């Protein structure tokens, strides 16, 4: 059995708080995408730059969580055929049942 010290418990709580914070931010981005906003990737010299189509910047770590969601799909606008990295992602909508 592990006996935690106050310092190790503090470090564990900080780590969990960061993880929960990232999940909450990813959920907020997913909610925006559910409402019709797209997520765009622009590659710059400084690295990837993510933003929603309404102009809201999205940190790289949050965007990676969002893109990993099964509800988000790439538009298919990669520069080369067969490249896994897309530049635009949107919310995947299920087909409406026929009436």
Q: Is residue 96 part of a domain?
A: no
Residue 80 forms part of a structural domain:
yes
Model pLDDT for residues 44-92, shown as the tens digit of each residue: 899 889 999 999 999 999 999 898 888 888 887 766 665 556 788 888 8
Instruction: Identify whether 85 is part of a domain.
Output: yes
Q: Supply the mean pLDDT for the chain.
A: 84
Write out the DSSP string of 10-76: HHHHHHHHHHHHHHHHHHHHHHHHHTT--EEEEEETTEEEEEETTS-EE-HHHHHHHHTSTTEEE-S
Of 93, 92, 86, whose CA–CA distance to 63 is shortest? 86
Please tell me the total count of domains within the chain.
1
Tell me, yes or no, whether 81 lies in a domain.
yes
For residue 1, being part of any structural domain is answered with no
Q: Per the domain annotation, does 20 fall within a domain?
A: yes
73 is a domain residue: yes
Q: What residues make up the domain containing 10?
A: 6-91
Q: Is residue 99 part of a domain?
A: no
């Amino acid at each position: 059995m592990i006996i935690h010290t106050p310092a190790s418990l503090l470090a564990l709580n900080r780590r969990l708080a960061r993880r929960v914070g990232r999940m909450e931010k990813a959920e907020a981005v997913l909610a925006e995408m559910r409402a019709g906003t797209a997520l765009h990737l622009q590659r710059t010299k400084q690295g990837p730059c993510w933003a929603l189509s309404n102009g809201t910047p999205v940190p790289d770590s949050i965007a990676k969580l969002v893109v990993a969601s099964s509800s988000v799909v790439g538009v298919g606008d990669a520069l080369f055929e067969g490249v896994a990295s897309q530049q635009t992602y949107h919310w995947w909508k299920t087909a409406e049942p026929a009436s």
